[in-house]
Structure 1
Amino acid sequence: MTSIRSDALSRALDGPAEPSLRPLPPVVAELLRSLGAPARLAAHLRAVHDVAGELCDWVESRYPGLAVDRDAVLFGAATHDVGKTLHPEELSGPGSAHEAAGRVLLLERGFAPGLARFAATHAAWDGPDVTVEDLLVSTADKVWKDKRVPDLEDRLVRALAASTGREPWEEYLALDDLLARLGADAARRLAFQGSFPLGR
């Protein structure tokens, strides 16, 4: 049984996917293996990580003057729900206990506070200290399944407009076009995630 579970986890982490999804960073894949993470959680993290990569590509192309820590965004997207290894009931039901638990878990494993924070902040984007990186991780965590959150998108639009001096409506139209394109693959991402077992 352990071999079947580890095979499913390996496939979720870096096996072929439809749509094509980039594999998780090696350090994150190793962390999830060491935690015996459920394959479905790994598949979810991989899907969100892939969308975060698309968002970063777009930001780098459209906003070359905006300093964004791409590695932090990708790490944050790849680990944002890691606390669900400690709260597996939140894989299939509501709950936020995984947020603080994930941050603590990452800190205990030696990850820097600036990286561990995403586990706690991915569902809270309206605080005064929220960065563009936080907004990108939160956006990836919504749009991977084609969920649109106007307050979150407005906050991201304001940050993007402030970096360029362009009108917010221009940035909104550009972001809306990108998110609609990313959302078009949501059903296939959801099917990929759903093809893996919930349990360890």
Structure 2
Amino acid sequence: MTNTLLSRAVSGTADPPLLPLPDRVSNLLSELGSPPRLAAHLRAVHDVAHQLVDWMEQHCPAVLFDREAVLFGAATHDVGKTVHHGELSGPGSAHEEAGQTLLLDHGVSPDLARFAATHASWVDTRVGLEDLLVSLADKIWKNKRVPDLEDLVVARLAEASGRAAWEEFIALDEVLTHIGDEADQRLAFQASFPIYG
């Protein structure tokens, strides 16, 4: 990785401490000439996804999901913004399909590339728990609470655990509140990197 800022964004020291992006993702971002701020965002969401899947495995071991798919999806969900730079600082959804296409063009399997397209379409009834977790990580990293999305996750947890939905809601709310407590630091980390360059 030749760009120093990009290198710092994907694996440098961060406050709060953030896990580095996987090498496969770091190499892809370097190859695509990713803006450092995008890499910082992906790293923050990837770290939050780690916290969510760790919690899921401890709290509800009966829930079956693909941990590595969630982590890869979180680490690459906005990769389409490497070609739609305007969506780094403004609204837009063109990056979703573009991201999926980029990933497919770089040899990523369709089952992993899909997260670039599904991370904002969690209301689609066909999305799996993995997609919901990527969407949730993409919201809670900045402490944005989306009740409808959380309700979908709660329903999946209650179905798998046999516990009442209100019990699962309380448990999920507790972990999301805890993760959200460091949102300001994650936002500051992301903002410390330029959109371009």
Question: TM-score normalized by structure 1?
Answer: 0.97
Corresponding residue number in structure 1 for 2:5: 8
- How far 1:109 sits from its partner (Å)? 0.6
Match of 1:198 in 2: 195
Aligned to 1:182: 179
1:168 maps to which residue?
165
Query: What SS class does the counterpart of residue 71 from structure 1 fall into?
Result: helix
In structure 2, what is the equivalent of residue 148 of structure 1?
Answer: 145
Letter in 2 for 1:103: Q
Structure 1 stretches of 4+ moved >3 Å = none
Report the aligned-residue RMSD.
0.7
Aligned to 1:136: 133
Is residue 17 of structure 2 the alignment partner of residue 20 of structure 1? yes
Task: State the match for 1:62 in structure 2.
Answer: 59
State the percentage of identical aligned residues.
62
- Aligned equivalents of 2:51 and 2:146: distance in 1? 18
What's the TM-score, normalizing by structure 2?
Answer: 0.98
User: Structure 2 counterpart of 1:44, which letter?
Assistant: H
Tell me whether 1:80 sits opposite 2:40 in the alignment: no
In the alignment, the residues of structure 1 paired with residue 110 and residue 86 of structure 2 have an alpha-carbon distance, to the nearest angstrom, of 26
In structure 2, which of residues 106, 109, 119 is the aligned counterpart of residue 112 of structure 1? Answer: 109
The residue type equivalent to 2:83 in the other structure is L
* CA distances 1:149-168 after superposition (whole Å, capped 9, x unpaired): 00000000001100011100
- What is the distance in 1 between the residues matched to 2:194 and 2:37? 6
How many pairs are equivalent? 196
Matched, 1:101 2:87: no
Q: 1:32 aligns with which of 18, 29, 34?
A: 29
State the Cα distance separating 1:85 from its structure 2 match: 0.2
Q: Deviations over 1:10-57 (max 9, x none)?
A: 000100000000000110000000011000000000000000000000
CA distance in 1, matches of 2:115, 2:141: 17
Unaligned runs of 5+ in 2: none
Name stretches of at least 5 consecutive residues in structure 1 with no aligned partner: none
